[in-house]
Amino acid sequence: MSVGGLVLFGLVTEVVLPVWTVQEAGVASQVACASRCSQHDACGGFQWNSSSCFLVVVASVPGAVNGAMTNAFRLNSYRTNYHLYEFPPPPGGIDPANALATCRNNSMDLVPYPVTLKDRASLSIRQTRRLFVDMIRASDGSYVTLSSGVPVPNTAIYGWMPGSPDGGIGRCIGMGGPDLLFFDFNCSYTTTNAGVICVYSTLQ
Ligand SMILES: *[C@@H]1O[C@H](CO)[C@@H](O)[C@H](O)[C@H]1NC(C)=O
Ligand SMILES: *[C@@H]1O[C@H](CO)[C@@H](O)[C@H](O)[C@H]1NC(C)=O
Ligand SMILES: *[C@@H]1O[C@H](CO)[C@@H](O)[C@H](O)[C@H]1NC(C)=O
């Protein structure tokens, strides 16, 4: 979110997967570290360890290293006018319809696919291995939003997890792994591997 230039980060604990990071030199404070992340076009969060600044970035950033970071400040600004909200992992697992319903029942929307490198990097900081995105494969093989059937460009899918797409059988679309790749699966599956990340609109 960006309101009058203010960018919001939120602390995420129990981050489940390793993230890609680069260390920034010459940073004197946590606020300065947050500012470095805001200015970096592939940064979605950061960690300040009282003397060093680590930016959470996408894998393609030169020098990025993959490693565990169990706590990080996540950039909750998403796309141009959304704010991310992550529910704790549902204990009994969840399916896409209930993920969508969870968001809607709380006046939010299911997270749409990431557009920018910053969006990708911020979604790499999360409490579950996988997440459902607001996307479904239509019967003609194109992609539309699960929530309202709005077309999604094929180019939104920048990479599939190993084994996906599964012959185009699964209609629901999710994302997962440290590199936030796409996967398809049967919409009626309830899984304990996926969490619920919602978005709400913010003022510009
Ligand atoms: C912070 O990270 C730097 C670089 O990895 C390390 O040298 C330093 O010991 C760490 N400081 C703390 C307090 O963990
Ligand atoms: C959403 O709200 C409806 C209506 O109150 C309720 O029946 C449903 O169980 C709720 N679903 C979730 C996932 O919260
Ligand atoms: C999805 O799962 C349901 C319930 O297990 C099953 O009835 C259905 O045939 C599956 N669909 C596909 C396309 O595999």
Task: Kindly tell me if the per-residue pLDDT of 7 is higher than 80.
Answer: no
Q: According to the model, what pLDDT value does residue 120 have?
A: 97
- Tell me if 150 CB under 6 Å of ligand 3: no
**Residue 5 in this model has a pLDDT that exceeds 70:** no
Query: Which ligand has the minimum distance to the alpha carbon of residue 185?
Result: 3
**Cβ-Cβ contacts under 8 Å for 127 (sequence gap 6 or more):** 12, 13, 14, 15, 16, 86, 88, 89, 195
**Residue whose token pair is 């299911």:** 110
Q: Does 2 score more than 50 pLDDT?
A: no
Mutate to test the pocket of ligand 3, among 166, 172, 186, 187 (most ligand atoms within 8 A of CB): 186
Q: SS3 of 33, please?
A: helix
Q: Is 190 in the pocket of ligand 2 (CB under 6 A)?
A: no
Which residue lies with its CA nearest to atom 2 of ligand 2?
105
Answer CATH for 80-201 from 3.10.100.10, 3.20.20.70, 3.90.550.10, 2.60.120.650: 3.10.100.10
What topology does CATH give the domain 2-77? Answer: Hepatocyte Growth Factor (3.50.4)
Domain boundaries, the chain: 2-77, 80-201
Residue 119 and residue 44 in contact, taking contact as beta carbons nearer than 8 Å: yes
